[in-house]
């Protein structure tokens, strides 16, 4: 039997169409690209997560000459939020944006590994984690649930 999974999302024409809270989160993600260490890819990524209590934690991609040792902006922000506010704190939204070598804002859709981390964090909290992605040309894509970005995700029933 064939079965189909779909991902639904909202697309906004510009940051002006977002709520004030989402606009702030996206701007914080943009600001955080200044902390990117990306001498190898020359692609700066900024991420900002909003906690349920209103706190915002930011991150940027951190590269290393041993390439796999680096980390994406999203996981830097997500792990920092958990480390600083505790693993039981809830993350209700994440915004991500890219800036290329020419300095232009471009899309940075979360990679598979970041989606896995986002899905697990969302799974252990009561609220959805919304994900906002800046798109080329200034549009914004918003998914209502991080888990929807990783259908059929690995969720081990360990011991
Ligand atoms: N990167 C992120 O930080 N987030 C993403 O969603 C995709 C890719 C980083 C990894 C690497 O430092 C650079 O972007 C180029 O792949």
Q: Kindly write down the DSSP assignment for every residue of 33-56, as one continuous string.
A: GGG-B-TTT--EEEEEEEETTS-E
**Sign of the dihedral defined by the CA atoms of residues 127, 52, 17, 36, in that order:** negative
Which residue puts its alpha carbon closest to atom 8 of ligand 1? 72
Nearest Cα residue to atom 16 of ligand 1:
41
Q: Which of 11, 17, 74, 107 is catalytic?
A: 74
Q: How confident is the model at residue 106 (pLDDT cuts 50, 70, 90)?
A: very high
What is the distance in A from the centroid of ligand 1 to the CA of 125? 26
Distance (angstroms) between ligand 1 centre and the Cα of 108 equals: 7
What would the mean pLDDT of 97-124 be, rounded to a whole number?
96
Query: What are the pLDDT digits (tens) for 21-42?
Result: 999 999 999 999 999 999 999 9
Confidence band (pLDDT; 50, 70, 90) for 157? confident
Asked whether residue 155 carries a pLDDT value surpassing 90, the answer given is: no
Rounded to whole angstroms, the Cα distance separating 108 from 15 reads: 16
Q: What is the pLDDT of residues 32-81, one digit of tens each?
A: 999 999 999 999 999 999 999 999 999 999 999 999 999 999 999 999 99
**What confidence score (pLDDT) does residue 16 get?**
96
Q: How far does the centroid of ligand 1 lie from the alpha carbon of residue 60, in Å?
A: 9
- The mean pLDDT value of the chain amounts to 96
Ligand 1 contact, 43 CB (< 6 A): yes
Interval 104-120 mean pLDDT:
96
Q: What is the pLDDT of residue 62?
A: 98
Question: Which stretches of the chain are assigned E, i.e. beta strand?
Answer: 10-12, 44-51, 56-60, 91-99, 105-106, 130-134, 140-143
Domain layout of the chain by residue ranges: 10-149
Superfamily grouping for domain 10-149: Cytidine Deaminase, domain 2 (3.40.140.10)
- Provide the 8-state DSSP code for 4: -
100 lines ligand 1 (CB under 6 A): no
Q: Is 63 a catalytic residue?
A: no
Answer yes or no: is the C-beta of 95 below 6 A from any ligand 1 atom.
Answer: no
């Amino acid at each position: 039997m064939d079965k189909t999974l779909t991902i639904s999302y909202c697309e906004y024409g510009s940051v002006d169409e977002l709520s004030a809270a989402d606009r702030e989160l996206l701007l914080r993600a943009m600001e955080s690209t200044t902390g990117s260490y990306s001498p190898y890819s020359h692609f700066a990524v900024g991420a900002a997560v909003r906690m349920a209590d209103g706190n915002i934690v930011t991150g940027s991609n951190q590269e290393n000459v041993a390439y796999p040792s680096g980390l994406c902006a999203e996981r830097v922000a997500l792990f920092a939020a958990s480390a600083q506010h505790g693993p039981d704190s809830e993350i209700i939204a994440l915004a991500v944006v890219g800036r290329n070598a020419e300095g232009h804002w471009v899309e940075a859709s979360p990679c598979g590994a970041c989606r896995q981390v986002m899905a697990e964090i969302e799974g252990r909290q009561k609220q959805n984690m919304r994900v906002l992605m800046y798109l080329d040309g200034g549009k914004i894509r918003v998914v209502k649930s991080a888990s929807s970005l990783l259908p059929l995700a690995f969720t081990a029933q360990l011991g």
